[in-house]
Chains A and B, each alone.
Chain A
Amino acid sequence: MKKLLIALLTLMLGTTPALAAEIPGLIWERSMEKTYATEFNVDYYEGGYALIEVIDSACYLVVPEGMPVPEGLDGSIRVLKQPLDRIYLQATSGMALIDRLDALDSIRLVGTRQNGWYVDNAVQAMEDGKILFSGSYSEPDYELMINEGCDLAIESTMILHTPKVQEMIAMLGIPVFIEHASYEDHPLGRTEWIKVYGVLLDKEEEAEAFFNSQASVIDEFAGIKNTGKTVAFFYIASDGSVNVRASSDYVPAMIEIAGGNYIFEDISEPGSKRSAVGLTMEEFYNAAVNADYLVYNATIDDPIYTIDELIAKDPLFADFKAVQNGNVWCTGKYLFQATDIMGTLIVDFNHMLTGQDDMTFLYKLE
């Protein structure tokens, strides 16, 4: 018993990298430094090899062009041979990040049609036929993937719902990479995934530089005083219920960083890891009637432009303090693909709370 305890403690306190990082035949150099992301780790080895560990998902060994795949590699480690330039990108959140790396030419196929993209360069690339639509996550166009020589499928966690599809892609010899950026609690954790794409696409420096520029936005807020203002972030679902973010979600985190207070101190969908929570209008009313600010989440529902439109959704809104004071805002549709500029949304929130104009994602309802 005691031996076990000691062994465990040694493991915890030791400075050696995690077990997964030990690869026969490769010499460990260093681990990637991260600031906010908790869902991945990257270890570098001599010769330019890199091991990406996605927490609770899989490990990927990125093999540089012209280098051999190490012998005796653990079968659970998925091998990604560079160059990776015929990618099927199903995970939409990756597009903005890859675009920031100026690496859209490494994407050949996507799982979203042209009209579903809010990243302008992606729309243009599809327009130009440089990027093709290749079916959704559940029904990818395998034939196109094969004929286009697809060398990597980057999937969102949606793929976990169709394990057979994941298996099929793998059977066709295409490695599947599942990204977990949406699991990051910190808004900049999502942006920090640009470093993963930097490893995959051999653009590490660019990734680091871009991330630092976004992170610096946050640094500016490090010392700010909380305004004491409360903010509700929500939309009305088609069934009339009110959809809000769980308190642990990244949006509440952004509000806090920006100097505000998310109106729900502790809300979550019981027994679920969902980041969204459905409330009845009454429940929402009770919690948010006195919120200082209402922000309408138009990433899923239609954007609204006037307070009257909000009241038309439910007359009870007329009683809300924020409505009466004209402090109602709405997000743009672009938001959910804007993984690259999460910091900018924090700035927006801060500007909202401090009465400054000049925003990127938010606009005030008339």
Chain B
Amino acid sequence: MEERTVKKNMMRLIAILLTLVLLMSTLISFAETAEETSGENPVVTTEPDATENTKTTEEPEVPIDPEVTEEPETIVDPEMTEEPETDVEPMPIDESAEDELTTSPVDNSTTLPDGEYVPTGCTGGSSKVSFSCPKVIVKDGKATATLVISSSKYDYVKASGNKYETSAYSDGGVYANIPIDLSTDNRIVGHTTAMGGKEIEYTIHITLDEASSGEPTPAPTPDPGEDTEHTVETDNKMFKIIRSVLTLKDGQYTAQITLSGTGYDKLYCGTAEQAANDSANWISYSGEYNYEDAGEAKTGYVFNIPVSAVNQPIPLAAHSVKKDEWMDRNVTFTVAIAETTPEPTEEPGEDTEHTVETDNKMFKIIRSVLTQKDGQYSAQITLSGTGYDKLYCGTAEQAANDSASWIAYSGEYNYEDAGEAKTGYVFNIPVSAVNQPIPVAAHSVKKDEWMDRNVTFTVEVVEATPVPEENIEHTVETDNKMFKIIHSVLTQKDSQYAAEITLSGTGYDMLYCGIAEQAANDSANWITYSGEYNYEDAGEAKTGYVFNIPVSAINQPIPVAAHSVKKDEWMDRNVTFTVAVTVPTPAPDSGEEPTATPTPSPTPAPTPVILGTPGKVNSSTSLKDGTYTPDKFSWSGGSGRTSISCSKVTVKNGKAYATISFSSDSYAYVKASGSKYYGSVVGGRSTFEIPVNLNTNNRIVGMTTAMSADHEIEYTIYVYIAGAKDSANTAESTQAEQEAQIIGLNYVSADTIEHGKLFKVYRYEGGCTAIDVVNAGKYLIVPEEAELPVGIEEEAVIIRQPILSVHSSSENTLEMLQMIIGDDPEPEITVVAWDYTAPDYTTLLLNACDLAIMPEIFAEPDEGEEPLTEEVTAAIADVRERLNMLGIPMFVDRSADEETDAAKLEWIKVYGILLGCEEAANACYETAVAALEVQA
């Protein structure tokens, strides 16, 4: 071994030597030539170079790159490990495809008025390259889209018969402005320089709504909560969705889907792997659905799931009952994109949960949306085939004579049945009555004859399925085993909680909020069950009653009397709704038991970090409906690697929704305002629309999948729109008010300063005081416990009370401080002289300094004043930076710059504010000024 090394080293040495000799001789000849020409002695300068050059061939260069240390220094930082700029091209690699692709001209004319629009949708790209479209510009009736491509390797795009070179896009990737035919598929060609240069075809589809134009035009909110016409597909035959209601609310889709059977009892929005570690987000089936398939009675489970995106596969893990395993599945909700103008009459309205049956096997309804409007039901039904082309509400006999009332099919519906592609006709029919057979005549195409049929729409008394989006995460307990709540949906409205609870059985038929004794005498407030809920318990079919009750308090037992059917008696019960408090859970330990001899453990399973859901926020605003750009946005939290931005605030029906975006594509959802919100990933950013309380701190939780396990991180965001709230003071503000303005604080008053010219004092709600020192910054003195809007440190130096250890480089200050606090201050305040010209930072830390006071030289020079020398400026900047690094706030005292003695003395007031002893300070000031006047 050693022999080998020695030998190897010898060889190396010889190699180095030879290289060196060679290099030296080259150098010498070069030097000699140089000497001849310039006469200067180049040897001195070239010598070190020569050695260094030789060295580099053998030894690594000076460290420059941090990533060289390949350990991720903090496993908490996902971005660190990400490779920047690595582009992955779409799959089809057809090396021979040399032929140039072309595009044909598109019709990019639009009826939209000229202006800039923010698209509501942009689809296209592949799984490897994503396209996004931040804006569409309409000029002279022609639409041009700014198409952003996530990969910077794309150097041109062909569209509409032309070629467009790309430029770097500010948020990463590249962009090109191309003519676009809105709301339809556009075929484009992108050229990537990767893989030796290649043109790839893509189809993009960009949609706009007019409300997104620059001005905040009130958006006709796209009917929240209504069923959106769609089809749904899965990538697995065993995972079949037989029924789906897709609703869009606040730009967020949710679906109630019914599986063909009961083989899967839980779903999860994400992959099977994630599902296994994130039980908090498992979605259990909310009910059962009985249906008939090929003459066979079947049951399917019903689930309510969020739908993060439509028209593209979304991962949905399904939990197999049999295998007790999570399976990866993909579901695609395809929403028909309305050609030109959608017919508003087509809108089927809000689906009422129901089942539908006919009296004839040949007349099969496979899909039905029942809506109620002004007390009148109507249904959009889809027949299993195309054998009947017309319907008639009545008997066959009537139908034959009343052609005016024939209802022709309004569309076709393609679906799959037992692996076979099928088409059914869709009809819109009035429904004269529910829960009883109604006569519907059907016209057979083949026989050209009307047939008598009966259809029964069965509507359940109440939706058995809870409304998921309102639910506040909570647990519920009772004090009695016989009084068991198996399911609970807790909602909050106007700070009042209410719950829909489902009891385990039907033994209690009424509840009462209070004690049994009161209940017996207050029949007006008895709460009868509003519905039944069928469920399975240990393989047994069971039914429980559903009640809607007000919840007077959470996190404490509330009395609820229950009426026993059997005994006809009221019983005293207590129910506790526990809402998770949003305290971040400390990150879990790696959890391995230490052993005497440390042996590497084969990867402890990463534990997901899950936090509570932040409580409901009041998102009401006095702003008019429309889209706004925030005047200020700031945030805090997380490791700081991922940043958050807020591009717009949308106000709908008086509620504000912020569109926030994380600088990482790994954020799967955001918990905010009592709910979980799923977003979209475009161009490496994860974007979400969440309810927001404007002009105040909002706590949110973001979940990143970038770490070894799902990891929820708490952030605080602050979205400010001038005049959004407390708009009383939108009246013309005075100059003082303008100067005093600190975004996020409500200004109260300005102090009267008698003599001082170089400082001003402003007061704000919540006990905050600002000291504005001319050319030396604004300082905000904050009471110990006060909560500040995040990002306020951009507006002022924050000095949080109490100040107990002051270090000052200003002699004046030391004097004044001594004067105020006296010899025996309470609480004990340490005042220490500190020389900024020979800074001793260790002392600051040892004395736990919480305020450093610097002399007037730290102020910006006043107008006309001679600027400081470079050296002094650098020294000052250095002290500033270091104090900042140590987290010690710095205050600049300019009392020495005041012209009169009285003005100098008035700075005592400033120190009274800083130290929180204004009364004593003001008394000192009065005495001192009086003494001054006596002297005069």
**Chain A interface (Cβ within 8 Å of chain B)?**
1, 4-5, 8-9, 12, 35, 38, 55-57, 90, 92-93, 99, 111-121, 123-124, 127, 136-137, 142-143, 146-147, 156-158, 160-161, 164-165, 168, 171-173, 180, 182-183, 185, 219, 222, 237-241, 243, 245, 249, 272-276, 278-282, 298-303, 309, 312, 316, 332-334, 336-338, 341, 360-361, 363
Contact = CB atoms under 8 A, between A and B. Distances in A.
B73 A164 contact: no
List of 3 A-B pairs having minimum Cβ-Cβ separation, nearest first? A241-B86, A278-B83, A278-B86
Given A147-B845, A239-B86, A336-B71, A124 B590 contact: no
| Residue with the greatest number of chain A CB neighbours at <10 A, chosen from B5, B32, B68 | B68
Contacts of B127: 240
A130 B332 CA distance: 54
B63 interface: yes
B708 to A, nearest CB: 5
A1 B71 contact: no
Contact of A273 (B43, B68, B82): B68
Interface string B29-40: 001100000000
B603 A298 contact: yes
A56 B63 contact: yes
B712 interface: no
B909 to A, nearest CB: 31
A203 B911 CA distance: 55
Nearest to A91: B69
Contacts of B60: 56, 183, 185, 273
Interface stretch (B113-121, B202-210, B222-230, B881-889): B881-889
B93 interface: yes
A82 to B, nearest CB: 21
Contacts of B297: none
Nearest to B47: A4
Contacts of A113: 76, 587
B282 interface: no
Given A127-B589, A180-B63, A8 B603 contact: no
| Residue with the greatest number of chain A CB neighbours at <10 A, chosen from B43, B51, B81, B93 | B81
Contacts of A360: 599-600
A124 B590 CA distance: 10
A35 B5 contact: yes
Contacts of A275: 67-68, 70
B345 interface: no
A245 B70 CA distance: 10
13 contacts: A1-B28, A8-B24, A35-B5, A114-B589, A118-B600, A121-B594, A157-B68, A180-B63, A239-B86, A280-B86, A299-B71, A300-B72, A332-B603
B1 interface: yes
Contact of A120 (B72, B128, B592, B706): B592
Interface string B2-39: 00110000000100110011001000100110000000
A300 to B, nearest CB: 4
A361 B601 CA distance: 8
Contact of A282 (B1, B68, B93): B93
| Residue with the greatest number of chain B CB neighbours at <10 A, chosen from A57, A93, A157 | A157
A335 B846 CA distance: 39
A299 B195 CA distance: 29
A334 B73 CA distance: 13
A321 B321 CA distance: 35
A273 B588 CA distance: 35
Nearest to B77: A136
Contacts of A164: 881, 885
Contacts of A165: 885
B594 A157 contact: no
B128 A240 contact: yes
Interface in B193-247: 194-195
A222 B7 CA distance: 15
A115 B603 CA distance: 12
Contacts of B195: 280, 282
B606 A146 contact: no
Q: Which bucket holds chain B's interface residue count?
A: 35 or more
Contacts of B602: 332, 334, 361, 363
Nearest to B62: A56
A156 B73 contact: yes
Contacts of A171: 841, 882
B86 A336 contact: no
Interface string B500-539: 0000000000000000000000000000000000000000
A228 to B, nearest CB: 22
Contact of B4 (A222, A245, A281): A222
Nearest to A161: B66
Interface string B596-608: 0011111110100
Given A273-B68, A280-B88, 6 more contacts: A56-B59, A142-B841, A157-B63, A273-B61, A281-B128, A302-B606
Given A118-B601, A239-B83, A274 B67 contact: yes
Contacts of B841: 142, 168, 171-172
Contact of A243 (B61, B64, B66, B83): B83
B86 A279 contact: yes
B20 A12 contact: yes
Contact of A241 (B17, B76, B88): B88
B337 interface: no
Contacts of A5: 21, 24, 28
Contacts of A127: 589
Contact of A1 (B31, B68, B598, B600): B31
Contacts of B73: 90, 92, 111-112, 136-137, 156, 158
Contact of B845 (A1, A146, A282): A146
Interface in B87-120: 87-89, 91, 93
A142 B885 contact: yes
B24 A118 contact: no
Contacts of A238: 78, 81-82, 665-666, 706
B45 interface: no
Contacts of A222: 1, 4
Contacts of B13: 12
Given A12-B20, A142-B885, A237 B81 contact: yes
Contacts of B20: 8, 12
A142 B67 CA distance: 25
A26 B655 CA distance: 77
B83 A241 contact: yes
Given A5-B24, A118-B590, A240-B88, A92 B600 contact: no
B65 interface: yes
A55 to B, nearest CB: 7
B74 interface: yes
Given A115-B589, A127-B589, A238-B665, A334 B601 contact: yes
A215 to B, nearest CB: 8
B600 A338 contact: yes
Contacts of A121: 594, 598
A341 B600 CA distance: 9
A23 B222 CA distance: 81
B881 A123 contact: no
B17 to A, nearest CB: 6
B581 interface: no
Given A142-B845, A146-B845, A160-B66, A115 B590 contact: yes
| Residue with the greatest number of chain A CB neighbours at <10 A, chosen from B74, B88, B271, B845 | B88
A211 to B, nearest CB: 13
Nearest to B50: A8
| Residue with the greatest number of chain B CB neighbours at <10 A, chosen from A1, A164, A168, A171 | A1
A243 B70 CA distance: 12
B405 to A, nearest CB: 55
B868 interface: no
Nearest to A361: B600
B729 interface: no
B911 to A, nearest CB: 25
Contacts of B600: 118, 332, 334, 338, 341, 360-361
